[in-house]
Amino acid sequence: MEKITDWNALWRELVEIKAQSRRKKWGGDPPEDLWADRARKFKEGVRRRWARPDSSREFILSRIRPGSTVLDIGAGTGAWSILISPLANRVTAVEPSASMIEVMRESLAGDNIRNVSIVQGQWPDVSVEPHDFSLCSHAMYAAPDLKAFILKMTACTTDTCFLLLRAPSIDGVRAEAAAHIWGQPLDSPNFTIAYNVLLQAGIYANVLMENTGLWKPRTSPSLEQALKDMQRFLALDDPSAYDDYLTDLLRRRLSWDGTQYVWPPEVRSALVYWRV
């Protein structure tokens, strides 16, 4: 009988692979603030995505009691904090990036929002008092110890915790590459691993798959660039021993639309939540 998977250890291993990928991209250690010069672009990306409604926002807003307190972990440029602020008595936005915080402050001032306070720091290292609700939207992927991240989140919440995570398809291109190279198809820190971390921590959470479906597919101008992107994603050398396999995989799975190669859509969002 096979040994039960240590899901937190698998999460940690994949976080380290992503860190290696960033070091390859930057040619060494990346800058301390990865969002420098990109925070405003990030805000615009959220604005475009939020131009249409989605079940995650609708559900979270429906569950938050008017007059409650909310903890927004990895708040970015403050989209969630701003969205929730009319309902809440007080929102605490935790964010490590000074660039993100600068844009968040501008947005809060522009909307005359006064009930959002900002704490600069990396979760779970910061200290905050308990809040009624806590939320982390796609901001946990660099945390090496997800169990500690979740337990601290739970300890700082008196009502409900919400996590939004990417949920890749098990038959995606990257999943197929990961299965061949690593022996398992979980290609990144994601919903499947996180949910099992929760179970092993004794937390039996609810799941709501976002109703907007799969995310917009990636594109590559050439197979050569697609290969470089795959090498970097998997933290492989260039060239690597897997290049022939990866090139064949990309030829087989990507489609040409006349101007660029289009990857199959393979990621959606999952909302995970649990009562404390």
Helix count (H) and strand count (E) of the chain?
10, 10
pTM of the predicted protein model? 0.95
β pairing state of 157-168 and 267-275: antiparallel
pLDDT digits (tens, 9 = 90+) for 147-166: 999 999 999 999 999 999 99
Name the band, by pLDDT with cuts 50, 70 and 90, for residue 22: confident
Domain residue extents for the chain? 7-216+267-275
Instruction: Name the pLDDT band for 30 (thresholds 50, 70, 90).
Output: confident
- From start to end of the chain, where are the E strands? 69-73, 90-95, 116-120, 131-137, 157-168, 206-209, 219-220, 255-256, 261-262, 267-275
pLDDT for the residue numbered 1:
65
Query: Taking CA 119 as the corner, what is the angle to CA 117 and CA 121, rounded to the nearest 5 degrees?
Result: 165
Mean pLDDT of the residues in the chain:
96
Rounded average pLDDT over 163-186: 96
- CATH number of the domain at 7-216+267-275, out of 3.40.50.2000, 3.10.20.30, 3.40.50.150, 3.40.50.1100? 3.40.50.150
pLDDT for position 4: 85
Q: Which comes out higher in pLDDT, residue 229 or 3?
A: 229
Mean pLDDT of 43-64: 96
